[in-house]
Chain A
Amino acid sequence: MRLPFLRSRLRRGVAVAVLTVGLPAFAQAQRAPIIAAAADLNVALTEIADRFAREQGQRVELVFGSSGTLARQIRDGAPFELFLCADEEFVEQLAGAALTRDRGTLYGTGRVVLFAPHGSPLVPSEGLDGLAKLIASGRVTRFAIANPEHAPYGRAAEAALRKRGLWESLRPKLVLGENVAQAAQFATTGNAVGGIIAYSLALSPNLQARGTFTLIPEADHSPLRQRMVLLTRAGRVAEQFYQYIQQPAARAILERYGFVVPQR
């Protein structure tokens, strides 16, 4: 009576093994290095990594998230080898905790934009004044930004809104993305009139197709100085990639996505 029981589970086990494609998750050695990157690099870094693979024949794995969350994961032992952060503060903290090789390099400065999907009552070309008018007329349903607690782009959004005196009135209507990419996603769904998201994301083909945007003046928030740093366990390929990002080809891509790259 136990034999049929075993046989059916065995059948299932075999089926699972057959279904499984790719490496069993325990394989470690010869694995491509894992790069943690802030969510605003969602599109740009993917392009850079593809070029890197084509030109140098080496693969890297990319993990995107909010800078704060990724920094915490690094502190908790996440196996990243390179960290591209959307601000400098988190890098400083990690360096202070001796989790990095050095203090890293500035790879670009980011900007925020006011974004509205097609068909929204919000008109980005009118800037934050337009948003103010919309709030006054009570037509704002929801407005998306990244979570200021741990996302640099969220903090920038909050600063800009506070500067215009819109923070308190907009606060109850805010929908917070776990990172700026999720904020961008929220900004394009029907329920939000729009949001404040990363310039780099607004420039991606996906978002270009879904709405319009306007740059928010740099003076409205503290600069989004983006720092990248090699972590203690970084291997050769991670080092190569770190260098590659600072090469002209990669810099060009970053510029295309709205980053202001530092002069060499």
Chain B
Amino acid sequence: MDWRALSVSLWLGVGTVILLLPCGVWLGHALAARHFRGKGLVEALVAVPLILPPTVLGFYLLVAFGARSPLGAAFQSVAGQALAFSFPGLLLASAIANIPFVVQPIQRSFEAIPPDVRDAAACCGLTPWQRFVQIEVPLAWPGILTAAILAFAHTLGEFGVVLMVGGNIPGETRTLSIAIYDRMQAFDDRSAGLMAAVLLAVAVITLTITTVLGRRVGRRRG
């Protein structure tokens, strides 16, 4: 059992969610609330990582911030280490790959708020920010929770992008899913099986938590 790989996986999952959730809430709300020119384009861009094969995504990300790219070279001179093959780089790649998993459920849950309720909030004297915080976010939070869970679970399972952008650096970018692959190549089926079981258990637990929480919210809302 590669505890470090488990740690990397969990930190990657949590880090991705923490990084993406505020952006996702802002973007999801903006897409739900307004019709602006270019909205269709933004929505399409948001959806791209969904349909792109992970290796294509990984390739372009590596091109964008590998050591041979301007961004990667700049990061290297400032931070002293490469952006690719490091945890920060992996976190960035994971965040990009998870954008649709976060933005789309949040956007849908904001869209589900009846426009009358939003108008009523304005007529109650709430400023746009107060409306957002007191009315819209509490009503949309099942979607926000779903987005967090989806992104976390998807990150745990991510392989293609992680392998290409992160390599297989132990303790840094060797996630649990990579470690399983690694152990299989070393004919260590026992370790591989154990780690696979752990990933499965984490997936089941997170999904159970969401379902239970979701149902409790639903009951309260009536």
Q: Touch between A and B in complex, CB under 8 Å?
A: yes
Question: CB within 8 Å of B: which residues of A?
Answer: 1-2, 5, 8-9, 12-13, 16, 19-28, 31, 34, 39, 42-43, 46, 61-65, 73, 75-79, 179, 181-182, 184-185, 204, 206-207
Give Cα A31 to B4, complex, Å: 13
Q: Which residues of A contact B148 (CB under 8 A)?
A: 9
Q: Are A42 and B85 in contact (CB under 8 A)?
A: no
Distance of A71 Cα from B6 Cα, bound (Å): 27
In the complex, the answer to whether B66 meets A77 with C-beta atoms within 8 Å is yes
* A63: contacting residue among B11, B169, B187, CB under 8 A: B169
Are the C-beta atoms of A78 and B87 separated by less than 8 Å?
Answer: no
Q: Which residues of A contact B185 (CB under 8 A)?
A: 39, 42, 64, 179, 181-182, 185
Identify the 5 closest CB pairs spanning chains A and B, nearest first: A77-B67, A77-B82, A76-B66, A206-B187, A25-B87
* B138 / chain A contacts, CB cutoff of 8 Å: 1-2, 5
B40 to chain A, nearest CB (A): 31
Q: What is the chain B residue whose CB lies nearest that of A78? A: B85
In the assembled complex, B167 has its CB within 8 A of some CB on chain A: yes
| Listed A/B pairs (15) with beta-carbon separation below 8 Å | A2-B137, A9-B145, A21-B4, A21-B6, A25-B173, A39-B185, A65-B168, A76-B62, A76-B67, A77-B76, A77-B82, A78-B84, A79-B86, A185-B187, A207-B187
Instruction: Say whether, besides A77-B67, A204-B187, A28 and B170 are in contact (CB < 8 Å).
Output: no
Interface residues as binary, B10-24 with A (CB distance below 8 Å gives 1, 0 otherwise): 111110000000000
A2, A23, A61, A79: the one contacting B81 at CB < 8 Å is A79
Residues of chain A within 8 A (CB-CB) of B172 are 25, 79
Contacts of B168 in A (CB 8 A): 63, 65
**B159 within 8 Å of A by Cβ?**
no
B213 within 8 A of A: yes
Hey, which bits of chain B sit against chain A, CB under 8 A?
A: 3-4, 6-8, 10-14, 62, 66-68, 72, 76, 81-87, 133, 137-138, 141, 144-145, 148, 167-173, 182, 184-187, 209, 213
Which A residues are CB-close (under 8 A) to B14? 13, 16
Which of B144, B169, B186 interacts with A181 by CB under 8 Å? B186
Other-chain residue from B3, B8, B10, B85 in contact with A73 (beta carbon distance below 8 A): B85
Given contacts A19-B10, A39-B185, contact A63 B62 (CB under 8 A): no
B137 touches A77 (CB 8 A): no
Which residues on the A side are within 8 Å of B213 (C-beta)?
Answer: 8
A158–chain B nearest beta-carbon distance, Å: 21
Q: Which single residue of chain B is at the shortest CB-CB distance from A179? A: B185
Cα of A115 to Cα of B87 in the assembled complex, Å: 39
The reply to whether B7 and A22 form a contact with Cβ atoms under 8 Å apart is yes
Residue of B7, B67, B184 near A185 (CB, 8 A) is B184
